[in-house]
Amino acid sequence: MSQPSYFDEINTLFGTIAEAFGLEGEALARALEDGSMTLERGEDQDGNRFVAATLERDGSRRTARIFKDAIHHEGEGTEGETGGGAV
């Protein structure tokens, strides 16, 4: 029996979040479990939806917006954009 497509979408989203922060899957899971990473839904001024992932570690805080086809790191312009998987 095949998995519903939303499982594939969730796996792709988590893979893209891990890529945005340079984390392995296990480290991403730990960050989500211990609360050092939070996820929020959002929408930009053009109506594009994204997931905002924020990682707080060792006194620093990093945020990345995960769009369908791009990753935008907070505080960076177009240089912070990278290709991402479909979400």
HEC letters along 19-62: HHHCCCHHHHHHHHHHCCEEEEEEECCCCCEEEEEEEEECCEEE
Tens-digit pLDDT profile for residues 19-46? 999 999 999 999 999 999 999 999 999 9
Cα 87 from chain centre: 10
Number of structural domains the chain divides into: 1
Domain of 44 in residue numbering reads as: 5-83
Judged against a pLDDT cut of 60, whether residue 86 lies above it is answered with no
Tokens standing for 36? 């050092």
Tokens standing for 30? 């730990």
- pLDDT-based confidence at residue 79 (cuts at 50, 70, 90): very low
The separation between the first and the last C-alpha atoms of the chain, rounded to the nearest angstrom, is: 23
